[in-house]
A and B are shown apart, each in its own frame.
Chain A
């Protein structure tokens, strides 16, 4: 158990809909990262937050947005969903936001768009 929790575990929805994925980092960790893993793909970095502020952005679509709240949990919002958005979404957390900090991953949310 990494100490990072993600809810829900599974999500099935229809095209055009909007969903929210939730991540609670390990106790004491200030930085949260979001990744997308599509079938047979590596983990694609989406976005990083550090202590409530956006720190880095990856290949995140404009239909996607995220935020980190004062209690440090984070939410990833996916809107106008398309079939291609079906994937595993992972969040990870680190104590600080720097390079040499090992990222601890949650179990992921599997999103299926029908």
Chain B
């Protein structure tokens, strides 16, 4: 049962344009969401997070939007740079689960073309 889904395995965007990565979840108890970026041969690195009490969180070129009614979140990268080329994972957790474990999606490979 895939509770966190990233339906686009890959995405290509021109440098300078906006990259939009999407993530859907099924568990309405999730109340904290994160995005991680992963380069080849490295572990994932934290990018940005959002709590369910917000619908938007911004950090520089990165903005995460949360639509609770649709159980959907998205990561916007503006402007996209070649160094943003990586695999992006969204993850979710529930404060009521008592475990605080993260459930990860399968990732979206972003390629930013120069």
Interface residues of A (CB under 8 A from B): 2, 4, 33, 35, 40-45, 48, 55-56, 58, 90, 92, 97-100, 102-108
Contact = CB atoms under 8 A, between A and B. Distances in A.
Given A42-B89, A105-B45, A99 B100 contact: yes
Report which residue of B6, B51, B100, B104 has the largest number of chain A beta carbons within 10 angstroms of its beta carbon. B100
B54 interface: no
DSSP majority for the B interface? loop
A98 B43 contact: no
Given A99-B93, A100-B32, A102-B49, A45 B101 contact: yes
Contacts of A105: 36, 43-45
B44 A90 contact: yes
A42 B4 contact: yes
Interface string B83-102: 00000010101110011111
A98 B32 CA distance: 12
Given A42-B89, A45-B102, A55-B99, A99 B32 contact: yes
A48 B97 CA distance: 14
Interface residues of B, number: 29
A99 B100 CA distance: 5
A33 B89 CA distance: 17
Q: Which 10 A-B pairs have the closest CB atoms?
A: A105-B43, A56-B99, A42-B104, A99-B100, A43-B104, A42-B106, A102-B46, A45-B101, A105-B44, A56-B101
Q: Give the interface SS of chain A, mostly helix, strand, loop or mixed.
A: loop
A103 B32 CA distance: 13
Contacts of B45: 2, 105
A51 to B, nearest CB: 14
15 contacts: A35-B104, A42-B4, A42-B107, A43-B44, A43-B89, A43-B104, A55-B99, A56-B101, A99-B32, A100-B51, A102-B49, A103-B102, A104-B46, A105-B36, A108-B43
A108 B38 CA distance: 12
Contacts of A98: 100
Contacts of A2: 43, 45
Contacts of B46: 102-104
